[in-house]
Structure 1
Amino acid sequence: MLQVLQLNFKKTIRFLHLWLGLISGLVVFILGLSGSIYAFADELKEWLYQDRLRVEIPAGASRLPLSKLLPIAEEAMGKERKISRGELSQAPGRTYMFRAMKLNRNAFGYWNYYEYYHKVYLNPYTGQVVYKENAKKEFFTVVLALHMNLLMGDNVGHFIVQWSVVCFVILLISGLVLWWPKNWKRKQLKKSFSIKWGAKFKRLNYDLHNVSGFYSLLILMVIALTGLMWSFELTTEKKSKVLSDTTKMAGAMPADRILDQALKASPETAYFLYNFPAAKSGTVNVSAYQSDMNLYDRVQYRFDRYSGTLLQKGLEFNKQPLGTQLISMNYDLHTGSALGLTGKVLAFLAGLVAAALPVTGFLIWWKKGKKQI
């Protein structure tokens, strides 16, 4: 009786694994491949985009005040595009980047989703416009959009990606059940844990699917679950109730004072993300990233946009509760950067395995599994 139940259970798992794989396989292939490409996006940009990221420092020069650089960036961007963020690197010889982006979240298709997305790179020592970029056409922006919503926009693409990843998590679990050795004798274990490279195509393909899937399961599970954390907005921070004092609206935004306070509070910052408020009562949100690689190691500040008064300071990463730390690390766990370069390599390889699993799985079904339907 027990043996019959086990056989029925295995048959049900195999059926579930097959159909979920057929339903989500193409999307998983795209996500795995695009994720692998994007894994080293920062490093590739450093190599490919030196013309816009680096400048020579004039002898004896220091960075110009932000209040002098902003009008230059705004003029270069054009009146029809409002700057929403500045990326202000504190490394010597690095440009400041300002971006203007407007999304239509209800639109279908990549080109409709981004109404515009432009970046302006400035030499912070001279104020010279180094480069103007239509980021909508930039390669890594397209790859990221492919990874996040299949170039279809949020309403359709995000939905497909979200539930395909749910299917992928179930596939990983059901795959482990199907992989599990019938017994733990040496011959069976060798078959389960090693790829027979000299075998014929059918056996080699089977081993590539099962063995590579097993070895990458833990990494793929972390990547999938952290992706779902985003997808279901479980990492979204609650909107702060702190607001700017609109009775002090007269005068320009005290950008220099705000940046100076943030720099004094976080003197070891690698770069600042300076977010400009859209609403009149909105605050200037400044994130001080302590590392170029890890996004979790940051301190967040909120300033009154009119007076420059510090309204709120977030906790440093090492002072946050464990649960908050895990949420803060979600992106770094997803990309592997939480473990530095080694983690990125693992994420890159895992992405390739994820892309290969639907292909090898489809070939197993095509050669043998069709008769099971």
Structure 2
Amino acid sequence: MKKKRKYTFRKFMNDVHLWLGLGSGIVLFLVCFSGTMLVFEKEIKALFAEDLKIKNKEEIIEIGDLVENLKSRGEVLGVSISNKETDPYEFRVKTSPEDRRGTIFFVDPHTGDTLKAPESSLDGFFMSMFRLHRWLLLDTAIGRPIVGVATIIFFFLAVSGIIIWFPKKWKWRNFKPGFKIKFSAKWKRINHDLHNTLGFYSCIFLVVMILTGLCWSFEWYRDAGSQVLGTKVFGNRGSPGIESQLDFDPSEELTVAEIYKVASKELNYNGITSISLPSSKKGVFQIRKYDESNWSPVVSDQLVLDRNGEMLQKEIFKEKPLNVQVASLIKPLHTGEIFGMFSKVLYFISCLIATSLPVTGTIIWLNKMKKKKVSSK
């Protein structure tokens, strides 16, 4: 009579990993696949975008005049100015009430020539990928919690996967197979190694994506994250509540070009300056500047200037408390933009691996089921 095997913790982890993976596999495949497509969205769109040729002339048209020229197209929300002479100005224009984020127009500051960011089939493709990633192409009220629950399951899959990856006996010769893929073996072993080894190498990046991604799925998770960090997650968007201290007197106002000079003096380094224009009589200028020599291309310093150039608020990123810095970097930590191209490549590879895990995992399970059927005959 065969001695019955004990139901060990390792066996329990195997079962958790198996059944959670089978139950969420399709959703995770779709979410990870769409996430892989979105990593290089900006770069891919840029490849197919028409360049605005900057004509080399010494005279530069005043920014305010460029704003006036664009008002025929809609409400000008803001402008981004690079320190590179070969780059056009990038204006954001609200062309209709439905155009909440604004449409990008590139403008040659020497000639005033305007080029609207061209629409293409890629826009529709990437929007579909975005909706698939966030809501599975469903209504947000239905898709968001489904993706959120699948993401939580993914976290437990990652944890249980790492536990299973560790060998029973902690000796180096037992660890070595988990670090490499034996391509000379049969396809079943190769498939197992692809799941086991690639899952191990990508795990840390996937956990970062999971923990940050849940901030968009559940308000309770976002609130809990705010409690843990001691500052509000997604709370530092613009400068709400700050209004102009001036009575509305056009003679006291500085031009956009003068505001740009004030900002350049306050933030005296090379980089892209984004200026959000006042949208009402009590509105103020909100400025972000990205230091091109910084460790991260998404980190910015912020100014709020009154319409006469008076400083109302100044926030230097490196001077903020660490918890506030982390909270403001949730999005780039999730998308891989945090360290520019280097981190994007790592995230792309990790997302690609994550997309393959439900497939290789299901194949492992099917192979085991076939083996059990053969052995039971």
TM-score past 0.5 threshold: yes
Moved more, 266-275 or 232-241: 232-241
User: Distance between the aligned counterparts of 1:151 and 1:253, measured in 2?
Assistant: 46
Verify the 8 A CA contact 2:77 2:102 in the aligned structure 1. Answer: no
Query: Unaligned 5+ residue runs, structure 2?
Result: 227-232
In structure 2, the partner of 1:123 is 108
Give the aligned partner of residue 57 of structure 2: 59
Residue of structure 1 equivalent to 2:269: 268
Give 2:300's match in structure 1, choosing from 294, 298, 301.
298
- The answer as to whether partners of 1:274 and 1:286 remain within 8 angstroms in 2 is yes
Q: Following the alignment from structure 1 to structure 2, what is the Cα–Cα distance between the partners of residues 181 and 296?
A: 40
SS at match of 1:368: helix
Task: Tell me by how many angstroms 1:278 deviates.
Answer: 5.0
Is the alpha carbon distance of 1:59 and 1:283 closer, same or farther for their aligned partners in structure 2, counting shifts above 3 Å? closer
Distance verdict in 2 for CA 1:318–1:357, change over 3 Å = same
SS of equivalent residue, structure 1 residue 355: helix
Following superposition, the deviation at residue 141 of structure 1 comes to 4.9
* Correspondences of 1:246-261 after superposition (within 5 Å): 248-249=247-248, 251=250, 254-261=255-262
Cα deviation for residue 209 of structure 1 reads 0.8
In the alignment, the residues of structure 2 paired with residue 44 and residue 137 of structure 1 have an alpha-carbon distance, to the nearest angstrom, of 9
Letter paired with 1:86: V
Q: Which residue of 1 aligns with 2:82?
A: 89
- Contact 1:172/1:217, CA 8 A, preserved across alignment: yes
- Contact 1:242/1:283 (CA < 8 Å) preserved in 2? no
Per-residue deviation, residues 75-129 of structure 1 (Å, max 9, x unmatched)? 2x34xxx44343332322112222346999xxxxxxxx97886322211221111
Superposed displacement of residue 236, structure 1: 1.0
| Residues 195-236 of structure 1 deviation map (CA, whole Å, 9 limit, x = unaligned) | 221222222212111111011111222222233345554531
Cα distance in 2 for partners of 1:95, 1:282 equals: 26
Please, which of 70, 75, 78 is the counterpart of residue 73 of structure 1?
70
SS at structure 2 position matched to 1:324: helix
Amino acid at match of 1:327: A
Q: Render the CA deviation track for 1:136-160: whole Å, top value 9, x for unaligned.
A: 9625455444434444464344333
Alignment counterpart, residue 178 of structure 1, candidates 148, 164, 173: 164
Please tell me whether the aligned partners of residues 166 and 175 of structure 2 are also in contact (alpha carbons under 8 angstroms). Answer: no
Q: 2:195 & 2:366 partners in 1: Cα distance?
A: 14
CA distance in 2: counterparts of 1:339 and 1:218, whole angstroms:
16
C-alpha change, 1:314 and 1:9, in structure 2 (3 Å) is: same
C-alpha contact 2:297 2:339 (8 A) present in aligned 1: no
Return the letter of the residue paired with 2:103.
H
Matched, 1:201 2:155: no
Cα pair distance change 1:285/1:159, threshold 3 Å: farther
How far is the alpha carbon of 1:328 from its aligned partner?
Answer: 3.5
2:368 paired residue number: 368
1:359 and 2:359 aligned: yes
Name the amino acid aligned to 1:131. Answer: K
Question: Take 2:95 and 2:59, find their aligned partners in 1: how far apart are those partners?
Answer: 35
Name the CA shift for 1:209/1:265 in 2 (closer, same or farther; >3 Å).
same
Contact 2:151–2:210 (8 Å) recurs in 1: yes
Q: Which residue of 2 aligns with 1:190?
A: 176
Distance 2:120 2:311 in 1: 32
The 1:152–1:291 alpha-carbon spacing in structure 2 relative to 1, beyond 3 Å, is farther
- Residue identity matched to 1:368: K
The match for 1:243 is: 242
The 1-side partners of 2:78 and 2:138 are apart by: 25
Change (3 A) 1:321 1:84: same
User: In the alignment, which of 176, 194, 212 is matched to residue 198 of structure 2?
Assistant: 212
**8 Å contact kept, 1:202–1:364:** yes
Q: Give the CA deviation at 1:168.
A: 1.4
Contact 1:96 1:124 survives alignment (8 Å): yes
Contact 1:116 1:136 in 2 (8 A): no
Aligned residues: 352
Letter in 1 for 2:196: N
SS for the counterpart of 1:93 is coil
Q: Counterpart of 2:230?
A: none
Deviation at 1:329, TM superposition (A): 3.5
Name the Cα RMSD after superposition.
Answer: 3.6
| Distance change >3 Å, CA 279–CA 351, structure 1 → 2 | farther
